[in-house]
Amino acid sequence: MFRVRPIKLIPNLLAYCKVYTASFYIIPSISKRPCLGSLLPFWLGSSKGPKYKIPSLIQQLSVSTSSLAVQEQVMAETGVELLNSVDDQHGGVRVEMKEPMDPKIFSTLLEASISHWRQQGKKGVWIKLPIELSSLVDTAVKEGFRYHHAESDYLMLVYWIPDTVDTLPVNATHRVGIGAFVTNHKREVLVVQETRGKFRGSGVWKLPTGVTNEGEDICDAAIREVKEETGIETEFVEVLAFRQSHQAFFSKSDLFFVCLLKPRSFDIEKQDSEIEEAQWMPVEEYAAQAFVQKHEMFNLIAKVCLAKLDADYVGFSAVPTTTGSGKRSYLYCNNHYMGYKTSSSNNQP
pLDDT tens column, 6-24: 433 333 433 333 333 333 3
Average pLDDT over residues 119-141: 97
Structure confidence at residue 2 (pLDDT): 42
Instruction: Judge if 110 and 201 occupy the same domain.
Output: no
On whether residue 344 sits in a domain, the answer given is no
On whether residue 345 sits in a domain, the answer given is no
On whether residue 277 sits in a domain, the answer given is yes
Number of domains in the chain: 3
Q: Render pLDDT for 276-297 as a digit per residue (tens, 0 to 9).
A: 999 999 999 999 999 999 999 9
Structure confidence at residue 304 (pLDDT): 96
Structure confidence at residue 78 (pLDDT): 54
CATH code for the domain in which residue 230 is found:
3.90.79.10
Q: How does residue 347 score in pLDDT terms, banded at 50, 70 and 90?
A: very low
Residue 192, exposed/middle/buried by CB under 10 A (0-12, 13-18, 19+)? buried
Average pLDDT over residues 214-240: 97
Instruction: Judge if 128 and 72 occupy the same domain.
Output: yes
146 forms bridges with which residues in the sheet?
Answer: 158
Instruction: Judge if 126 and 3 occupy the same domain.
Output: no
Q: Which residue has the higher pLDDT, 57 or 96?
A: 96
Q: Which of 228, 233, 235, 274 is catalytic?
A: 228
On whether residue 205 sits in a domain, the answer given is yes
Domain that holds residue 27: 1-64
Instruction: Judge if 54 and 121 occupy the same domain.
Output: no
Instruction: Judge if 36 and 152 occupy the same domain.
Output: no
Instruction: Judge if 195 and 328 occupy the same domain.
Output: yes
Instruction: Judge if 187 and 329 occupy the same domain.
Output: yes
Please give the model's pTM, rounded to 2 decimal places.
0.71
Q: How does residue 51 score in pLDDT terms, banded at 50, 70 and 90?
A: very low
Biggest alpha carbon–alpha carbon distance for the chain: 94
Q: Render pLDDT for 72-99 as a digit per residue (tens, 0 to 9).
A: 444 545 567 899 999 999 999 999 999 9
Q: What is the 3-state secondary structure (H, E, C) of the chain?
A: CEEECHHHHCHHHHHHCCCCCCCCEEECCCCCCCCCCCCCCCCCCCCCCCCCCCCHHHHHCCCCCCCCCCCCCCECCCCCECCCCEECCCCCEEEECCCCCCHHHHHHHHHHHHHHHHHCCCCEEEEEEEHHHHHHHHHHHHCCCEEEEECCCEEEEEEECCCCCCCCCCCCCEEEEEEEEEECCCCEEEEEEECCCCCCCCCCCECCEEECCCCCCHHHHHHHHHHHHHCCCEEEEEEEEEEEEEEEECCEEEEEEEEEEEECCCCCCCCCCCEEEEEEEEHHHHHCCHHHHHCHHHHHHHHHHHHHHHCCCCCEEEEEEECCCCCEEEEEECCCCCCCCCCCCCCCC
Instruction: Judge if 321 and 195 occupy the same domain.
Output: yes
Q: In the listed set 110, 128, 163, which residue is the last one of a domain according to the structure?
A: 163
Instruction: Judge if 85 and 208 occupy the same domain.
Output: no
Instruction: Judge if 51 and 75 occupy the same domain.
Output: no
Distance CA 133, CA 182 (A): 47
Structure confidence at residue 79 (pLDDT): 64
Say yes or no to pLDDT of 155 above 60: yes
Distance CA 140, CA 126 (A): 11
Q: What is the mean pLDDT of the chain?
A: 81
Q: Render pLDDT for 168-209 as a digit per residue (tens, 0 to 9).
A: 999 999 999 999 999 999 999 999 999 998 888 899 999 999
Say yes or no to pLDDT of 49 above 80: no
Catalytic site includes residue 72: no
On whether residue 168 sits in a domain, the answer given is no
Say yes or no to pLDDT of 143 above 80: yes
Q: Which residue has the higher pLDDT, 226 or 48?
A: 226
Instruction: Judge if 198 and 278 occupy the same domain.
Output: yes
Instruction: Judge if 105 and 207 occupy the same domain.
Output: no
Percent of residues, the chain, with pLDDT higher than 70: 74
Structure confidence at residue 340 (pLDDT): 60
Structure confidence at residue 339 (pLDDT): 64
Point out the least confidently predicted range of 66-75, 282-291, 334-343.
Answer: 66-75
